[in-house]
Each structure stands twice: as structure tokens, then as C-alpha cells.
Structure 1
Amino acid sequence: MKAAEIRRQHLVSQVLLKQFTTAGLEGSGLQLRPVDVRNPERRNKLASTRTCGWVDTFVAFDSASAEKLWDSVERGAHTAFEAVYAGTPFVNPVHVEALRDLVVLHYVRSHRYRSVYTNAFETVSVKLRSQLVQQYPEQLRREALRQTRLHLAGSGSLGAFAERLIEQSEVAQEFENGKLFRTSIEDMFHKVRAAAAPWHLEVLTPESGQFLIGDNPGLSIRTDTKPFSYNMAFNDAHSIVLPISPRHLLALGRENLVGTIPRATVNDLNTVQIRAADHYVYMHPRSTRLETFARDTARRWRTDHANR
């Protein structure tokens, strides 16, 4: 029997979101504070991890397969976090691998990846349509006559028929039902995991201030610009970063190290999380200054984009 499809799929692991929570009042469970970066003036109530960082049917075809893969990574996160908090993240190589895999997971399983995937497929489809019309016009006319009994003359009608053929293809059908995306994102995870294996792990803590986490939290960044640039290809990045608590951030680097970073760099990293977020950033409920920072940064970011 085929497993039921899973609709509520967390792009930000709940085990990760829990690191930004505190116990709510009157037995309401662990809660964190969301900030809506699309509507920074909106005041959001505290929320549970279950209601944050998820997407409805992100993987629409055989979601159980993807969830099984993600779970294989997330299972090792809790004990790895405990090692980080104890100041011993590198004592056990299993913890290092678990943390690095968690960075890779959140880099791949993201709104950003789905957008890149969708745009790439649509670009290829448009290019293929043009190539069919330019290189195989007679074959298209014969096939159109066979299927529709119509004689197609102009490039517009040929293009429309070429698009119809593409939509009927197995690849296009698998794109529509989500099978292609599920296969693509699983393959990409394995590729990036292999590419990240030679990298080491930096565990960074702020001299002052706290980290927040966005709903696109695993980010490729370059630090040779101000503000930091982000969302470039894996091989073009200086690092892939992932906040794992208000006081800890993971970064892929050249050597294993535990270090501190100045407040200005914390602000730069938080700014990247806010700008890269699809809809929300999350923080510890008592981070009132950070909430103000997030709202102000999101407001400026939206204003700058509106004026371009």
C-alpha cells in the first residue's frame, strides 16, 4: 500500500526551531517569536514550532521518500546540539557530520531551491520550443497533420504545437505531478552533501547580541561585500551558514574551530537571514531588541526594492 502523502512539510526542522523557543505561559508549550518580513508592521503572536517554517505539499509526489531522507539527517541533530552547547562539538566525528549535514539539508530544502528549479525547467522548455520550430519545422508540420488533421504554416502555430508536444512528454508530466522535483531535490541533496564533505565546520558565537533564523536559513554567502551577498551557487560561496540557536551559528569553513564574532558581523548575518526569508524570520521570545532590528531591516529592504 502506498504511503499517504504528507502535506505539512517543514523546511526548517522543528528540532532546529526549538532551539529558539522558551516555555509559554499556562502550559502552552514551547514558543518562539515570528516576524513577518513581508508585513513588518504586523504584530505576530508567539507561535509553536509546529506552526512555523512549513509549506503545504512542498514535495507533492511520494513525499514519504523525501521525509525519510530528511529524517535521517534530523535524527542526529539533538545530540550534536548538546555537544555544541557543552563546548565539545569536535570530540565525536559523528556530531561534526550531523551538523554539516544539517547545514546542507537547509541549504537544499528551501524556497530558494524550488524557485531555481522551476525557473530552470521553464527556461529549458522555452528554449526547446524555439529549437523545435527552428530546426524541425517540417517534422512538426507532419506530426501536427497526423494528430490534428490541420496544415500549420506560420511560426506561431508551429510554436503552439511544439509547446503541446512538450506538455505531453513524460518529463513535462513528471514536472506537473511533482515527481521530477522530488527526484531533483533528493539528488541535489546528495550532490551538495558530497561537495561539502571536505569542508570543515565553524561554530560561531556572538560577542554580544543574538542570532535569528529565517524560513530560508541555510544560506550561501560571500563576505567580500557589504552587506554580505547571498544565494550564489555552492562553488561560488565563501561559506554556507546556518543559525542553530540565539547564541550559535554554523558555517562551513577551512578548519574546525569554535570562535566569537563581533556584533557588527552578527548584524550582517541577521540581515542576510531577513533579506533571504520567503515570509518569516524567527527568534527567541525575549529578544525584543532583535525583534525591532528585524522589523526595521525588513522595512528598509522593502522600501529599497519598491523604489528601484
Structure 2
Amino acid sequence: MDGEPRKQHVISKALLRRFSTPDEELISYDLRYGKSRPRNLSAVAYQLDFVAFEAHAAERLWGQVEDDLPRALNALDNGQLFETPGFVETLKGTIVLHFIRRQMVKDLANERQAFVREKFFTRPDLPTITDEMKSDLLEWFDGQLAEAFSENLREMYLRALADAAQAGLEIWTAEIPLVLGDAAILTSKGSEIGFVPFIEAGSHALPVGRRHLIALGPKNAVGTMPAEKTRELNRQQMRQAKSHAFIHPDDNRSPFINDAHAEYLRRRPPLVSE
């Protein structure tokens, strides 16, 4: 892993900038403790070693989407997005990227890795080995799993891109400010929201700014999102977030702040200390 980037943003900086001031400051709201504080966008929404094997290759894989995203968002702001088909595909790719690069995906892979390790090293037919041999074997074992995760991520990304290319892109303008949770994308299948396979989902929705949300749909469309629908989406961002939500400083007194912590605690036990 020498030379590979370890600090990897799971939410694109181009999206985080849409919730920040010109000096790249946003409000990071910690749902676990009900506390918020200003942070630079470089200090939030990242994970060390999300892709631990050939991270540079992963960044090259979705690099075109990341590189084109700022211009696509400018076209969106200017009402010219659908005049440039390439930018439409960029925003579809942005939905795919944030579906693939969710913390939930990594957590499931970590759970699987822990399960496989436990099963392997508790096998009754495993010969007695020294601690040094076990350490070497664990290192090799984890390397193999990291390589498998990287390859699986690549395959998931390419399959989802192909699926998204067949869909339309919906652009929604919200009547009240949107919130960006650290899971970012909301994927649903019927009434189920959470980890749904990409092709099986009925909806993929992603806030791309304080007033804009994009989603995959049957055809290209533009619409206005009423305040109550926006509030419900903000609540869903709270429910799906792992621990944090991100808000523009001007929106820090939005009504959702008052119940976001309580919403989080309904599904997770309170923590007594940091």
C-alpha cells in the first residue's frame, strides 16, 4: 500500500462545496451527540483505506466523473444541463459513484472479512502455528480480501454505470434547504430504504446542493420539490447517515436540526462519551 492515497473521500468534494462557504467551511452535525461545529470540507466525509488495494486504480476508474462534475453542476445551476448530454451522463455517474462508495458498502465488506477470518482461524483441522506465522498468515489473508474487495467494487461500479446509462435523469429544485448525510445517496425499493442492489432499486436520489436533488428515473425530467417532501427527504438523510450530516452554515438553524438527534437515537442507542 506504499504510495497509495489512504485518505479517501466517500462524498465528492465537488458536492461538499455545494454545502459550504467560499472558503470551504460547512457545518458538520454529529448525530451521535447532537452537536454541530464548523469544519473544512477536507476534514469530513472521508475514510482511511476505503480501497486498500490499488487505490490509485480506483481513483482513475471514477476520475472522469469526478473531473467533469464541477462543470456539470455549473450547467445544472445555469439551466443548461440537458443541452450537454455528456454532463447528463456525468450526473448519472455521480449517482452511481456515491452508491458504490458508501460507508455501508465498506462496513458490509469488513463484516464479511471478520466472519471469514474467524471461520478460517477457528477451524479444528488447522495445524498449530506460532504467533509469528499467524501474523504473517493474517497479513496475507487480509491482503487477499482487500484485493477481492477492490475488484468487486470495480465490477459493481461498471455494472451500475451501464444500468444508469439506460435511465433518465430527474432534476428537482427544493423549496427549502436540503441536507447531505454521510451516506449521501438514498436508494429505495418500495417502502424499503437502505442497502438495495442497484438494479433492483426503484429510486436513487442524491442531493447535489442546498436546493438541488438528482435522481434516476424513466426519462429526463425537471420539477419542483415541495417543502414537505424536502423535509421527508432530509429526515431520510438522518435515518440513513452513519454518524454525520453536512449543512451550509446559513442553514444551521433549519427546523430539522431540532429533531435530527432524536431521530438518530430512535434507531441507535445513545453514546455516553466521545
Q: Compute the TM-score of the two structures, normalised by the length of structure 2.
A: 0.85
Does structure 2 conserve the Cα–Cα contact (< 8 Å) formed by 1:15 and 1:78?
Answer: yes
C-alpha distance in 1 between matches for 2:237 and 2:67: 25
C-alpha distance in 2 between matches for 1:294 and 1:194: 38
1:298 corresponds to which of 231, 241, 261: 261
Report the 3-state secondary structure (helix = DSSP H, G, I; strand = E; otherwise coil) of the residue aligned with 1:216.
coil
Equivalence for 1:257 = 221
1:191 corresponds to which of 140, 146, 159: 159
Query: Which one-letter code corresponds to 2:44 in the other structure?
Result: C
1:2-13 maps to which residues of 2 (within 5 A)?
A: 4-13=3-12
Larger Rg: 1
Distance change >3 Å, CA 181–CA 34, structure 1 → 2: same
Does structure 1 conserve the Cα–Cα contact (< 8 Å) formed by 2:239 and 2:263?
Answer: no
C-alpha distance in 1 between matches for 2:40 and 2:172: 26
Relative to structure 2, which stretch is displaced further, 245-254 or 183-192?
Answer: 183-192
* Offset at residue 122 of structure 1 (A): 5.2
1:154-193 maps to which residues of 2 (within 5 A)?
A: 173-175=143-145, 178-193=146-161
C-alpha distance in 2 between matches for 1:55 and 1:305: 21
C-alpha distance in 2 between matches for 1:32 and 1:58: 23
Does structure 2 conserve the Cα–Cα contact (< 8 Å) formed by 1:275 and 1:298?
Answer: no
Where does the alignment leave 5 or more consecutive residues of structure 2 unmatched? Answer: none
C-alpha distance in 2 between matches for 1:304 and 1:62: 35
1:1-308 maps to which residues of 2 (within 5 A)?
A: 4-23=3-22, 29-40=23-34, 42-44=35-37, 46-121=38-113, 173-175=143-145, 178-206=146-174, 208-222=175-189, 224-225=190-191, 229-290=193-254, 292-306=255-269
Does structure 2 conserve the Cα–Cα contact (< 8 Å) formed by 1:3 and 1:64?
Answer: no
Distance change >3 Å, CA 74–CA 148, structure 1 → 2: closer
Does structure 2 conserve the Cα–Cα contact (< 8 Å) formed by 1:217 and 1:273?
Answer: yes
**Percent identity between the two aligned chains:** 28
C-alpha distance in 1 between matches for 2:20 and 2:140: 45
Distance change >3 Å, CA 56–CA 124, structure 1 → 2: closer
Does structure 2 conserve the Cα–Cα contact (< 8 Å) formed by 1:37 and 1:295?
Answer: no
Query: CA RMSD of the aligned region, Å?
Result: 2.7
C-alpha distance in 2 between matches for 1:248 and 1:203: 7
Does structure 1 conserve the Cα–Cα contact (< 8 Å) formed by 2:28 and 2:244?
Answer: yes
* Offset at residue 288 of structure 1 (A): 3.0
How many residues end up aligned between the 2 structures?
A: 264
Report the 3-state secondary structure (helix = DSSP H, G, I; strand = E; otherwise coil) of the residue aligned with 2:28.
strand
Distance change >3 Å, CA 169–CA 56, structure 1 → 2: closer
Which structure 1 residue ranges, 4+ long, deviate > 6 Å from structure 2?
124-130, 167-171
Report the 3-state secondary structure (helix = DSSP H, G, I; strand = E; otherwise coil) of the residue aligned with 2:81.
coil
C-alpha distance in 2 between matches for 1:111 and 1:169: 23
* Offset at residue 218 of structure 1 (A): 2.0
Distance change >3 Å, CA 172–CA 230, structure 1 → 2: closer
Where does the alignment leave 5 or more consecutive residues of structure 1 unmatched? Answer: 24-28, 134-139, 150-163
* Offset at residue 51 of structure 1 (A): 1.0
* Offset at residue 85 of structure 1 (A): 0.6
Does structure 2 conserve the Cα–Cα contact (< 8 Å) formed by 1:104 and 1:218?
Answer: no
Does structure 1 conserve the Cα–Cα contact (< 8 Å) formed by 2:207 and 2:214?
Answer: yes
C-alpha distance in 2 between matches for 1:304 and 1:118: 21
Distance change >3 Å, CA 48–CA 170, structure 1 → 2: closer
Query: Which one-letter code corresponds to 2:261 in the other structure?
Result: A
